[in-house]
Structure 1
Amino acid sequence: MGSDPTDNQAFMASIKQDIKETFLGLYETAHDRWNDFIQFLMEAWPLLVSLLIILTGVWLYADPPPPRHVMMATGAPGSSYHDLGKKYAEFFAKKGITLELVQTKGSQEDMVRLANRKDPIQAAFVQAGVDIPEGVSGIESLGAINYEPIWFFYRGPELRGHDFQAYQAQFKFFHQARISMGEKGSGTYVQASKILQVNGIGEGQKFVHLPLAQSVAALKNGQIDGAFIVDAYDGPSVQAILEDPNIHLAAFERAEAYARLLPYLQILNVPTGAFSLVRNYPDFDMKLMSTTTNLLIDSNMHPAIQFLFLEAARKINGKSTFFAKSGQFPSFENPLFPESAVALHFEKNGSPLLMTYLPFWVAELINRLTFVLLPFLAIAYPVLLTLPGYRDKRIRRKINRLYGMLREYEQELTQSFDSVDQDGYLKKLDLLEYEALQLNIPKAVSSDYYALRTSIDYVRSCLNRGIRPYQIQEEAVCL
């Protein structure tokens, strides 16, 4: 037997009706909840605004916005540090922050200034191996960002590595040569001093202390015989000397021994012809020693600025270079100072997700708002749970107050009723009912509210009977 079409239609109609009623019920529930929420906000907004103001004040005090101006020490003009600083300044400018570059004599001065808590410098490029002031504190590391080879350039006949070996505690070459060790206060001076020291050589009268630019010019002009230079391979000073065929580069055949005596040193290999295939320069496989450039900061630096420095280091110094592979820097191995908490986070997780996809200031604002919104919600949530009950009690107190006014009015009518003034009595009830109508009532107290309205209407009905119901007499009294 086939099913009855009429029954099928009735069944489908029933389903449609059930679905319609379900959606209507959900809509009405959501609508009522929304109205209650809006009413709640209208009543509770002073408390919520006060709470938000307090938390915002704590937020601004505990987590101030990042500064728009940062000072950084970058070494001497013409050095790779100075050129690198310009790249960092361009990166910061795109983020809406001014990175002011401060010229110094070099790494040693940078270290001293960074250690001085009264100095406005907050960041510096510093060579590994520089002398750390005794008792220094408040300096943290954002990692190493580049190799910085120790170059020894010289004029005259080309010498091989064995010609630089120690002879009666002296380098043959250093016997009568006029050598620049770099300006005192510079990283070059520190590195040159340590190399001479482990070889048992002290500073002789022929050693001079020239700034980088003067040292390069003096060497090219023949005013000095040799010069220590600690600078990156792509630094303009190093490139200018490497291109000069009259100036030679000394190799360090005992680089392994230096690295043992001075553990911060790295060994770099230069294949034959790597500097110039046309000149076949160098004409043998060469070993160089290198320190590293460390990005040091004042420990009070804003975390957002630290992330910005690390992101700049990743984009600028993380590229493949003559000595470094892509992604090798920033490196967090053997830091010159303890790593900052931000550097540790960056090492494990990279930049914050918001900074990756949003403009710096937008990401920072959202990040800082989280600082205040989470506590706000944590505190406000239990308050929000408590306030509906408080609100119900508050409305009930208003209803009870109106009940009290109605009761006092009835007592007044009982004790001094005057039928001539009946219109006046009714006006008082109208005012009482108007006041009740102004109440915004949640559903939870609807029964009490309408009970009040019914009681007011009852008293009005008694007055409208016209039989002096509130006069104390033997007749029945309507109470």
Structure 2
Amino acid sequence: MRRILRDLKILILANLWIVPVLAALVGALFYFVAPPPPMHARMATGAPGGGYHAFAERLRDELALQGFELELVPSQGSRDNLAKLGQGAVELALVQSGQELTLDDEQRDRLSGLGVMYREPLWLFTGADVKFERLADLRELRLAIGSQDSGTQAVTAALLAANRIEAADYPERWQQIGGSRAADALTAGELDAAFFVGPAENALIQRLATEPGLRLVSLRRTEAYLARLPYLSRLEVGEGMLDMAQNTPDQDIVTLGPVATLVAGESFHPSLTPLILEAARTVLKNGSLLDPAGSYPARPPLSLRTLDEAEYYYDKGLPILQRYLPFRIASLADRYIILAIPLLVLLFPLFKAIGPIYQWRIRARIYRWYKHLREIDQQLYKGSLNGDIGAEIARLEKLEDELARVEVPLSYSSELYELHMHLRYMIERLHAVQRRRAIAAAQ
């Protein structure tokens, strides 16, 4: 064991040169590696109490379990969310599909779609006695079309425009209000009908569904609308789906609606994509009244650029390391593994050179003694060895003593012993020369 430890010590000492080389390579790795993704982001959520805000709160709580902080930033709706993304005020926002089409190509290219989170039905509630067949019937009604610049108004305006109806033509009967304000006016009888956009579970929608004086009506000609407005989707709502006690709706109906899309701005770190989408999948795993379990998140609309990380997630799921490790550790490992590959490529020839260099270093300990022996041998051969031979013998005997303290691995001992023999041989030769000179001097 002592011999093994000594050989190991010699091996380490003979290759100390590799320490600064490795330090330089590892230092370069840490210098050039991209910094880890931030564990904080801001998300525009719409008004408190709305569907967007409720979803964002659940997403925030789920991300907090991974140590990620999602800061919720209230807004006035989808258009305001797009504006905040463009200004860099937030990294994420929920946006109603179709709203991105209001941007020019340059503005839209700066955004990325992470995925569709859920469908947002358009609900048209009317008074119980109001007669409604088609959107054209709304011309004679007191109607709430959604607050200005809201997602509700954007959808209703698109549907009305498809019928060549402009809200501006009915300023006395149609009002630009939405949310709780429109709901209060409708239940108080100040309006005949009102449009709302939001999930079936939304508190406001549930409130309206329980009002006995209101009726949820069906939209007809949905295929014609979808052909003109492809960012909308068709939704079938079964009888009693919203409220079974009040039987709302009182028959199977069909409606339309956009989808809530999670959109990222330029300041969003792409490496956060799988973390955000997996948290959203957990939040949405049980589905909703209208969305089957496991349906969302889904690929974003084609009108938005999709991040490569999102494409990978939808094709293959979470990156391998993130399936088994916390996000922070997995993302660091991913980044260092990628940069470690070229490091290993550099280290392979480096370690391959250790053997020959080690062999050269050990033999150099032995062979450096031969230089002096060779010089003496040549002088003896040429007869040019002058001076005090006794001093030369003393010098070689001193070298012999030093050589006895040289440590080499066991595998190189034969070469060391050969040097001992050659050194002793040279000393004996010098003694012979010394004796001959002494005899010659005595004669």
Aligned to 1:245: 212
Secondary structure class of the residue paired with 2:123? strand
2:182–2:194 contact (8 Å) kept in structure 1: yes
Secondary structure class of the residue paired with 1:379? helix
2:322 to 343, 355, 359: 355
Aligned to 2:47: 76
Q: How does 1:355-434 map to 2 (within 5 A)?
A: 355-404=322-371, 414-417=385-388, 419=390, 426-431=397-402, 434=405
Q: How does 1:222-241 map to 2 (within 5 A)?
A: 222-241=189-208
2:22 to 40, 45, 48: 48
Opposite residue 270 of structure 1, the aligned amino acid is V
2:119–2:291 contact (8 Å) kept in structure 1: yes
Q: How does 1:69-468 map to 2 (within 5 A)?
A: 69-116=40-87, 119-130=88-99, 131-134=101-104, 135-136=106-107, 137-155=109-127, 157-160=129-132, 162=133, 164-166=134-136, 172-184=137-149, 186-204=150-168, 205-206=171-172, 207-210=174-177, 212-298=179-265, 301-332=268-299, 334-404=301-371, 414-417=385-388, 419=390, 426-431=397-402, 434=405, 437-438=406-407, 440-441=408-409, 443=411, 448-459=415-426
CA RMSD of aligned residues (A): 3.5
Q: CA deviation at 1:299?
A: 5.3
1:71–1:99 contact (8 Å) kept in structure 2: yes
Secondary structure class of the residue paired with 2:368? helix
Opposite residue 107 of structure 1, the aligned amino acid is S
Report the Cα distance in structure 1 between the residues aligned to 2:397 and 2:180, rounded to whole angstroms. Answer: 102
Residues 74 and 469 of structure 1: CA distance in aligned 2, closer, same or farther (over 3 Å): farther
Which whole-Å deviations, capped at 9, do the CAs of 1:303-343 have from their partners, x for residues lacking one?
Answer: 43100111112212232321111221122274441221112
Q: CA deviation at 1:396?
A: 4.0
Secondary structure class of the residue paired with 1:75? coil
Residues 470 and 220 of structure 1: CA distance in aligned 2, closer, same or farther (over 3 Å): farther
Report the Cα distance in structure 2 between the residues aligned to 1:307 and 1:194, rounded to whole angstroms. Answer: 34
Q: CA deviation at 1:56?
A: 2.4
Secondary structure class of the residue paired with 1:233? coil
Which whole-Å deviations, capped at 9, do the CAs of 1:166-198 have from their partners, x for residues lacking one?
Answer: 3xxxxx3333514242232x3222112212211
Report the Cα distance in structure 2 between the residues aligned to 1:295 and 1:36, rounded to whole angstroms. Answer: 62
Count residues in correspondence. Answer: 429
Q: Which has the higher mean CA deviation after the structures are superposed, 407-416 or 360-369? A: 407-416
Secondary structure class of the residue paired with 1:121? coil
Report the Cα distance in structure 2 between the residues aligned to 1:194 and 1:405, rounded to whole angstroms. Answer: 100
Report the Cα distance in structure 2 between the residues aligned to 1:343 and 1:93, rounded to whole angstroms. Answer: 21
Q: CA deviation at 1:368?
A: 2.5
Residues 165 and 424 of structure 1: CA distance in aligned 2, closer, same or farther (over 3 Å): closer
1:111–1:132 contact (8 Å) kept in structure 2: no
Report the Cα distance in structure 1 between the residues aligned to 2:318 and 2:79, rounded to whole angstroms. Answer: 30
Q: CA deviation at 1:81?
A: 0.8
Q: Which has the higher mean CA deviation after the structures are superposed, 445-454 or 384-393? A: 445-454
1:182–1:229 contact (8 Å) kept in structure 2: no
TM-score by length of 1: 0.78
Opposite residue 339 of structure 1, the aligned amino acid is T
Secondary structure class of the residue paired with 1:347? helix
Opposite residue 83 of structure 2, the aligned amino acid is V
Opposite residue 182 of structure 1, the aligned amino acid is S
Higher relative contact order (CA 8 A, sep 6+): 2
Residues 405 and 79 of structure 1: CA distance in aligned 2, closer, same or farther (over 3 Å): farther
Q: How does 1:464-475 map to 2 (within 5 A)?
A: 469=434
The unaligned stretches of length 5 or more in structure 2 are none
Secondary structure class of the residue paired with 2:295? coil
TM-score by length of 2: 0.84
Q: CA deviation at 1:402?
A: 3.7
The unaligned stretches of length 5 or more in structure 1 are 1-29, 167-171
Which whole-Å deviations, capped at 9, do the CAs of 1:231-263 have from their partners, x for residues lacking one?
Answer: 111122222222222333232022222111111
1:75–1:106 contact (8 Å) kept in structure 2: yes
